[in-house]
Structure 1
Amino acid sequence: MPFHAEEHARIVSVERLRPGDHAFASYTDEESRWATIGSFTQTGISRGERVLLFADPALPETTVLEHLEAYGPPVGPPLECGQLKLLTMDQMWRPATISVERQMAGLRREVEEALDEGYATVRSAIDMAWVASYGADIERVLWRESEGCHPLFADAHYTEICTYDETRFDDDVLGRAAVGHPTALLRRPGTLLARPFTEDGERDTYGLRLVGEADLSTREEFNDALRRVADSAAPRVVLDLTELSFLDVYCARAVLLLAAADEAKHLVIRCGGIHAHTFLLLGALDIPQLTVEGE
């Protein structure tokens, strides 16, 4: 697989993107392509953001709209009022000739226009199929991805995902594109990724970070992650759930049962406020060797 999650400091689900994020995404089929783009677009609409969508130039607008509506409410109203804009990348540099610099200037104009119209934040989803469609220089595109577009994100008003078709780009390009982005998305929404991590100065601590969703559909992966925690010989374990977009009650209870089963191991759960509240309601305070670090 050309994209290796361990090469990135921050892997998130599409729902956990924040203003100022510039994220790499890849897909291998139509389902994974639109699961990412559809979720990203519908999330932006629901948050009141201006959404710019640069879909594959080969697709008719009606097809794009059909795919978007599979992941949320009808997009006709936001399209009519201008909250959602369906664009093609050549509109960013025309009538001049193609260049990455003109592309970025066009994106800056779109962001500034949205801010002037009262939108607090702007997000764009860019299907990188445009590169072949318009004959862009891939080396200049990769420069743009890793270095050239930083000013767009400086004030945290703009969020962007760049989605790469793994069947159209070779492994070298995909790998360089992935590493060039400060953030990368899970390859498919609704999945779960477990990533070990270490903490500075904590030699006797085992850390495991979970990213994505912990529910019935990812139960097997979640249970595997808990087995890794149980099998750890470290006296202190940190289970970082801050990048979970969803945690069901079954999974939360399973974590507490794991903590209660080993009195010799100190388990630290790091999570957001909603998940911390869930753990407290399920009896976390009754487990002396458990610490919940939440908002």
Structure 2
Amino acid sequence: MAIRVCAERTPRTAAVERLSAGDHACLGFDSGADRWALRAVFTADGLARGERVLLFGGLPAGEGPDAGLARLAAHGLAAGRAAAEGRLEVVTGASPGHDPAGGFDAAARTAYWSAATGDALDRGFAGLRAAGDMSWTGQDGLDAAELAAVTSYERDVTRLFDQIPLTGMCEYDRRAVPPRLFEQMLSLHPLAVLPEPGALHAERDGDVLRLAGDADLATRAAFEFAVTESGLAVIDLTGLAFIDASCARALLRLTGEVVLECTEMQARILALCGPRQDEGVVARVR
């Protein structure tokens, strides 16, 4: 078994904690509670990074920004203080570039992200982090031209994310958006966010296993089942937001020619949890 240290990177499926500047991600959620739990993590990470955080929509009609701040506060976030200091804003009503009566304007929304990110930088923030509801794409009456504009926007805006310190999470309520349309929108994003904090996602492609989310007490059984499957040549750990000592030791008990792709921090955790069962293990730093 070899350990290969990789640069920090976010895989195709990502825990919300792994999102960073330049990421354009898609979240499919099944309940309002799940969405706000993820928004709380998304917001806390942004505030910790010194970013300005904007949250668009996601509230029932008639509820204002204070209701959103209360939902964040229920997850232990000092949302009211962050909002008072201008670091966090919950935005209700029409989102940038979208007017329910007038349709969707991709150019206007793209221009808004550029201007809002520039404004955040001018105000001393490290960048901009935004999450916004896109579930209106599943409403009856959305014509083909407007849907084509949204599709083009989701595909093309990733280039903008590559150029400015902007982190974006587009939210689609799977109860409101038809499955086929959601899958189409998901395919236009470089990243798919795990639908709940603390989950573990394991995806095998031939002899390569890619892991995302958390490897801890709650997910340990699933983690150990995934990493001990036969025929694995590479286990990619870089998508994990967290790995505990017990799961790290499970990796160290593996034998044979298995490459562990990991971040610098994960490599240090593995080193602290040694020794390795396989005496022929060679650490390869790349």
CA contact (8 A) 2:252 2:276 kept: no
State yes or no: 1:274 paired with 2:274.
no
CA contact (8 A) 2:26 2:193 kept: yes
Cα distance in 1 for partners of 2:54, 2:176 equals 23
State yes or no: 1:145 paired with 2:154.
yes
Deviation, structure 1 residue 31: 2.7
Question: Which structure shows the higher helix fraction?
Answer: 1
CA contact (8 A) 1:268 1:291 kept: no
Equivalences for residues 1-295 of structure 1 within 5 A: 10-56=12-58, 58=61, 59-88=63-92, 90=94, 92-93=96-97, 97-98=102-103, 99-129=105-135, 131=137, 137-147=146-156, 149-197=157-205, 206-228=207-229, 231-232=230-231, 237-259=233-255, 265-284=256-275, 287-293=278-284
Q: Deviations over 1:35-60 (max 9, x none)?
A: 22121111101111011110225343
CA contact (8 A) 2:65 2:91 kept: no
What is the root-mean-square deviation of aligned Cα atoms in Å? 2.7
Question: Which amino acid in 1 is paired with 2:204?
Answer: P
Pick which of 11-20 and 63-72 moved more.
Answer: 63-72
Query: Which residues of structure 1 form unaligned runs of 5+?
Result: 1-7, 199-205, 260-264
Cα distance in 2 for partners of 1:276, 1:174 equals 37
Bigger relative contact order (CA 8 A; separation at least 6): 2
Q: 1:106 to 1:131 in 2, by over 3 A?
A: farther
Query: Which residues of structure 2 form unaligned runs of 5+?
Result: 1-9
Cα distance in 1 for partners of 2:259, 2:83 equals 45
Cα distance in 2 for partners of 1:165, 1:293 equals 43
Deviation, structure 1 residue 33: 1.2
Q: 1:217 to 1:293 in 2, by over 3 A?
A: farther
Deviation, structure 1 residue 93: 4.8
Q: 1:84 to 1:293 in 2, by over 3 A?
A: farther
Cα distance in 2 for partners of 1:256, 1:285 equals 5
Q: 1:14 to 1:25 in 2, by over 3 A?
A: same
CA contact (8 A) 1:210 1:244 kept: yes
Cα distance in 2 for partners of 1:159, 1:278 equals 28
Residue 123 of structure 1: SS of its match in structure 2? strand
Q: Deviations over 1:118-157 (max 9, x none)?
A: 2221110012245578x8633322221112x235313241
Identity %: 33
Cα distance in 2 for partners of 1:246, 1:256 equals 17
CA contact (8 A) 1:267 1:291 kept: no
Q: TM-score, normalised by structure 2?
A: 0.84
Deviation, structure 1 residue 91: 5.7
Q: Deviations over 1:172-216 (max 9, x none)?
A: 210110001111111222111112235xxxxxxx32121111001
Cα distance in 1 for partners of 2:102, 2:111 equals 13
Cα distance in 2 for partners of 1:81, 1:170 equals 39
Deviation, structure 1 residue 243: 1.2
Residue 258 of structure 1: SS of its match in structure 2? coil
| Count, aligned residues | 270
Q: 1:291 to 1:194 in 2, by over 3 A?
A: farther
